[in-house]
Structure 1
Amino acid sequence: MKTSKNTEFSYLRELAGYSVKEVASLFGKSERTVYRWENGETTPDNRIIQELKAIYEARSGNKHNGPYKFKFIDLFAGIGGLRKAFESVGGKCVFTSEWDQACRKTYQENFDCDHPVHGDIREIDLDSVPEYDVLLAGFPCQPFSIAGVSKKNSLGRPHGFHCDTQGTLFFDVAHMLERHRPKAFLLENVKNLVSHDKGRTFKIIMRTLVEELGYHVDYRIIDAKPFVPQHRERIFIAGFREDAGFSFDDLILPDTSPKLRSILHPEDGTEVPEPPYTEGSSATVASKYTLSDRLWQYLQNYAEKHRAKGNGFGYGLFGPEDVARTLSARYYKDGSEILIKQDGKNPRRLTPRECARLMGFDKPGESKFVIPVSDTQAYKQFGNSVAVPVVEAVARHMLPYLEYIMGTGGRPAATGKPEQLVLFEKEVAYV
């Protein structure tokens, strides 16, 4: 049973299959007391939590202490792209935080969590986070306040990330790294993080991770095109508590790209129908995804107006043998960045199922990833997510270095100091 509750008690109660009234009877408590546990007003004894876990495991036959290589936490989790990738290399997720309720619903429908999905990271008690080896975070890109830093520089006063990044969500990531000192981390962001706020944001992030927190760090901007039929550039920042010789330079990417045909509905009867995305025995794409005459004319007029001005704005029209533009969170508005050609009629949007395949949550031809939300929410969620196969490649690349630090593997071949960090140190003066 899945739930969007936030308290550990409510989560386990629903997993165990009990109502509030049944729990009150089982443990000899009043329903009012149980409702307080449910809403987080008070906390039940640990004995009750453990018993609910035992009941759920006994009923489902699902033991959550099976074999795994390392433990990780999933921050700014979205719909679980980072988690899906790191589970594929033997990781076990022990803590999750995601503020958006619709994302939490999708996340919990697709992952067998033995812990609640927490909300706002700023409200998390760091002492309540279980032990872990790797921190994963796709944190938002936000500007830092430079004024206070400049003033302290002029006065000769020390400053650090507690001052420089206060009020941003990167601060919470850095605070966790400082408090828990995990063996490794992976941060993901848009490629423009490097140039954001004239480069100041990235300078402070790197200074925080390298100089203040003492991690050995490398970064790389990776296009998802070798893995999925989509141009999607994202920056990945990997850090290790010890110098294991890690470098992104050794990450070899495929030199070919799949085409859109691999993720589109075939519409020839070979795919099982999946309402509301497809219809009829041939599983043709539902008519609601075809653009109306009015919207299609508007997009054409808009593109022509900007072409006349010498601008590149406009829709993107693609066929089965093409590679698409980047899927964005605004796709729900008009679908203009990725429109699919159709013979004899207006182009159409991708269906949410095709978006799941385009982002690697489903493999080509699969329909396993549960999409429990509206099309609008699904487009937002996939547009904000990572391309899962890219992160899987990064996770596989990081794994030998993590195992070496954990003492479960030999030292990987040394590659020298990461080239990107050398360039960073040579060409960029810290703020």
Structure 2
Amino acid sequence: MKPKFTFIDLFAGIGGFRIALERLGGKCVFSSEWDKHAKETYYQNYGEVPFGDITNFTKTDTDVSIKTDNIPDHDILCGGFPCQPFSQAGRQLGFEDARGTLFFDILTIAKIHRPKVLFLENVKRLRGHDKGKTFAVICNALKEIGYKVYSKVVSAYDQGVPQNRERIFIVAFSQPIHFEFPKNNRHSIYSKVGDILEKRVDSQFTISDKLWAGHQRRLREHRERGNGFGYSLFDEESQYVNTISARYWKDGSEILIDQKNNNPRILTPRECARIQGYPEDFKYHDSKRHSYQQFGNSVAVPVIEAISRNIFSALDSPKQSSNTLLPLEPVCL
């Protein structure tokens, strides 16, 4: 069966973008990920090993198009690219200022292949990174190569999973298309934290007396200093948990689950998969450390799916919009 659209999965991690886009009828024609452990998980679930460093396809001493031709044509370029400073950013805050960063590799591929849509994700603080210069470079560089750019901070909680995970999403069209981000759809998948918790959990996930005492001591010390740092405790009735991070494997302090008459416990890998919206048959890494890191670095699948649906709605019924230059400030219109 012919796919409805094709896409490439850059900085692929464990394939959060891929799951969402394949659900909507897309076919992945190229994937790239440099972390060997993430590549192992990717292979377990999709039957292919992503290509490594994307710069191998965009940096060459000869014509860059020679290598980017090894990337198939595609309708959508997607990826959660790293947040890097554009240290040489000048007054123009555009394409040339992005050189030396992995975002420049996205620009290079987009400039040659001209996909209909660029669908990008990053941490919320990207907007204010380097006093707003980073975001201004991104917006204006995309504009320079002919894309209409939209951006918004979206929380995973607002798209049905019990996690307060706010990320900025950038959607850019090769045509002047009108686009709107999805409306809130809370509790559409899970209504509370208890819905993602496993019924029987091995004792290995219960934190030790020593670690629990350390968490409590650090919380007291932080409160005495007047700041809000410390562990966070949730239970079955909580509406959502904090953002799971790549460091969760270290001590689990950002998300501890209350256990009556016992020390709290950390989430299991399956529970981490659920708060990121992964399907029940998703195969996570055999190493707990790597599985926690990978889920902490991942996108929330329901957010990707919701935004994607709106992208296709916009493509199906485009409204022409003006092609004026973006302002040189950290805002994408």
TM-score normalised according to structure 1 size: 0.70
Judging changes above 3 Å, is the alpha-carbon distance between structure 1 residues 121 and 199 closer, same or farther for their aligned structure 2 residues?
A: same
Moved over 4 A (4+): 415-418, 426-430
Q: CA deviation at 1:401?
A: 2.8
Q: How many residues end up aligned between the 2 structures?
A: 319
Which position in structure 2 is the counterpart of 1:101?
A: 36
Larger Rg: 1
Q: CA deviation at 1:399?
A: 1.1
Name which of 382, 385, 396 aligns with 2:295. Answer: 382
- When the two chains are superposed, the root-mean-square deviation of aligned CA atoms in Å is 2.2
> Following superposition of structure 1 onto structure 2, how do residues 126-141 of structure 1 map, counting pairs within 5 Å?
126-141=68-83
Which position in structure 1 is the counterpart of 2:4?
A: 69
Runs of 5+ in structure 1 lacking a partner? 1-65, 154-158, 267-283, 405-410
Judging changes above 3 Å, is the alpha-carbon distance between structure 1 residues 178 and 69 closer, same or farther for their aligned structure 2 residues?
A: same
Write the letter of the residue equivalent to 1:258. Answer: S
Q: Is the 8 A contact 2:249 2:288 kept in 1?
A: yes
| 3-state secondary structure, aligned to 2:21 | helix
Name which of 2, 24, 27 aligns with 1:92. Answer: 27
Write the letter of the residue equivalent to 1:286. Answer: D
Q: Supply the distance in 1 between the matched residues of 2:260 and 2:289 (Cα, whole angstroms).
A: 26
Pair 1:222 & 2:139 matched: no
Q: CA deviation at 1:122?
A: 0.6
Which position in structure 1 is the counterpart of 2:145?
A: 213
Q: Supply the distance in 2 between the matched residues of 1:146 and 1:315 (Cα, whole angstroms).
A: 39
Q: Supply the distance in 2 between the matched residues of 1:191 and 1:160 (Cα, whole angstroms).
A: 21
Q: Is the 8 A contact 1:224 1:230 kept in 2?
A: yes
Name which of 258, 274, 278 aligns with 1:357. Answer: 274
Q: Is the 8 A contact 1:102 1:373 kept in 2?
A: no
Judging changes above 3 Å, is the alpha-carbon distance between structure 1 residues 309 and 372 closer, same or farther for their aligned structure 2 residues?
A: closer
Q: Supply the distance in 2 between the matched residues of 1:92 and 1:170 (Cα, whole angstroms).
A: 23
> Following superposition of structure 1 onto structure 2, how do residues 9-408 of structure 1 map, counting pairs within 5 Å?
66-113=1-48, 116-124=49-57, 125-146=67-88, 149=90, 160-161=94-95, 163-210=96-143, 212-226=144-158, 227-248=160-181, 251-256=182-187, 258-266=191-199, 284-322=200-238, 323-362=240-279, 366=280, 368-402=281-315, 404=316
Write the letter of the residue equivalent to 1:264. Answer: L
Judging changes above 3 Å, is the alpha-carbon distance between structure 1 residues 191 and 160 closer, same or farther for their aligned structure 2 residues?
A: closer
| 3-state secondary structure, aligned to 1:386 | coil
Write the letter of the residue equivalent to 2:272. Answer: C
Q: CA deviation at 1:258?
A: 2.3
Write the letter of the residue equivalent to 2:227. Answer: N
Q: Supply the distance in 2 between the matched residues of 1:354 and 1:427 (Cα, whole angstroms).
A: 39
| 3-state secondary structure, aligned to 2:6 | strand
Q: Is the 8 A contact 1:339 1:349 kept in 2?
A: yes
